Amino acid sequence: MIRMVTRLAHSRSSVIPGEPRAQNELRYGAATDWTLLPVNARRRFRILLEKQAEMARLSEESAFNRLLWNADDKSLGVIASGIAYNYVLESFREAGETPSILKVSTYPVPRGLIQKLVDHVETILVVEEGYPLIEKDLGGLFGLCGKTIRGKSSGHLPADGELSPEIVRRALDLPPRETVAAGKLRLAARPPQLCAGCPHADTFKALNKALEAHPAARVFSDIGCYTLGALPPHNAVDTCVCMGASIGMAKGASDAGLRPALAVIGDSTFLHSGITPLLDAAAHDTDMTVLILDNGTVAMTGQQPTVATHSGIESVVRGIGVNPEHFHVVPTHPKRVGELAELIRKELAHPGLSVIIAVRECIESARKHKAEGKAREKAETS
């Protein structure tokens, strides 16, 4: 497993690809290994504990952990992981001699290497992204009698947000690098927006029109391109927590007395984890309105195909038990915003569950399919 942090996901690097290897052999364990009744779970947990010593040994010997040793400097030692290690090295490009630096890349942390560094220096600075995992481990592993630990817990590095080379330089007590002032130039904010021509934009326009007479309404949204409906110019979304949460939160809000309560969820997210809360809402005929935005693709992460088209989603919704009189599949289009707004108004007045599937292909997906069609026609005629 790799611990992912935002900056790592946004970084790039040259890589040396390895030779492809054969697939792992398919092996079957005893049936009792996978039937975790308490008697088997206790046994498997003992086996897991017995593996810890081997895991610690592998971590200690891993080539991914690296100790840069400075025998003369005993004042400071740095423990860094991930991209934070790069920031530390960058800080000393022009600053002269580097302190001892331990790059930690495995878990459990390499106790022997850390002990060697701790015994050598008086102060330890821990530089890591996200939660201070290594820093917390240091106190538990060693107690560090007489040693000073600096990091996020001590306030030498910010506890929230991402690290940067300049933040790390300050923690290392190094002077800031020279910068060029932008003067009075004011850069315009560039928040992410829906693509021009996105069908979700038309749905949000209709939704806002329908809610003009309902200032107390709350729109519980979900994870996808349509989450951008929370930003200008739409300002149509009040929440986004996790996949499938929109429908569950709308139901909870309705049960608590909030009216009207609406959920907005994409087709892919609905199929991923929105079906279960809708099943619950249908069973109780909860007073809420659900909009499923069906653009026919997993647009946010690269146009992957969905596991069902809107006809498949329609079958799922009907099978869940949604009242057919308050279930609608409608096309969304700039010229039909008024019609969709009127339909939403009508269903908001219904004291039970309503579901509307707004259908139109993602604009980027449509362009891709159009280009593919032209390429096929050209190939067939050549």
Those residues whose C-beta lies under 8 Å from the C-beta of residue 65, and which sit 6 or more positions away, are 59, 102, 103, 104, 105, 106, 110, 113
Q: How large a percentage of the chain has pLDDT more than 90?
A: 73
Q: Cα(225)–Cα(232) distance, rounded to whole angstroms?
A: 14
The structure tokens listed for 131 are 């939660």
State residue 142's pLDDT score.
Answer: 58
- Does the pLDDT value for residue 96 go beyond 70? no
Length of the chain: 382
pLDDT of 351-374, one tens digit each? 999 999 999 999 999 999 899 999
State residue 350's pLDDT score.
Answer: 97
Those residues whose C-beta lies under 8 Å from the C-beta of residue 332, and which sit 6 or more positions away, are 199, 202, 203, 206, 293, 340, 358, 359, 360
**Chain mean pLDDT for the chain:** 92
Do residues 246 and 221 touch, judged by C-beta distance below 8 A?
yes
Those residues whose C-beta lies under 8 Å from the C-beta of residue 218, and which sit 6 or more positions away, are 238, 239, 250, 253, 258, 261, 262
State residue 177's pLDDT score.
Answer: 86
> What pairing do the DSSP bridges indicate for beta strands 100-103 and 66-68?
antiparallel
State residue 291's pLDDT score.
Answer: 98
The mean per-residue pLDDT over the stretch 218-247 comes to: 95
Alpha-helical regions (H) of the chain: 6-9, 31-34, 38-50, 52-61, 83-91, 111-120, 133-142, 165-171, 199-210, 245-255, 267-269, 275-284, 310-320, 337-348, 363-381
pLDDT of 118-157, one tens digit each? 999 999 999 999 889 899 888 765 555 568 899 998 899 9
The structure tokens listed for 227 are 């989450």
The structure tokens listed for 345 are 């108004």
State residue 313's pLDDT score.
Answer: 94
- The CA-atom distances, in angstroms, between 256 and each of 96, 248, 250, 287 are 63, 12, 10, 11
Q: Cα(84)–Cα(52) distance, rounded to whole angstroms?
A: 27
Low-confidence winner among 26-30, 127-131, 201-205, 249-253 (lowest mean pLDDT): 26-30
State residue 150's pLDDT score.
Answer: 93
pTM higher than 0.95? no
Banded model confidence at residue 68, pLDDT cuts 50, 70, 90: very high
State residue 95's pLDDT score.
Answer: 58
- Does the pLDDT value for residue 219 go beyond 70? yes
Do residues 56 and 102 touch, judged by C-beta distance below 8 A?
no
Q: Cα(305)–Cα(299) distance, rounded to whole angstroms?
A: 9
Q: Which domains does the chain have, with CATH numbers?
A: 38-171 (3.40.50.920), 199-366 (3.40.50.970)
- Count Cβ atoms within 10 A of the Cβ of residue 11 and give its class: 0-12 exposed, 13-18 middle, 19 or more buried: exposed
State residue 143's pLDDT score.
Answer: 59
Angle between helices 52-61 and 38-50 in degrees, nearest 10: 30
Residue with tokens 């940067």: 164
Q: Cα(145)–Cα(152) distance, rounded to whole angstroms?
A: 19
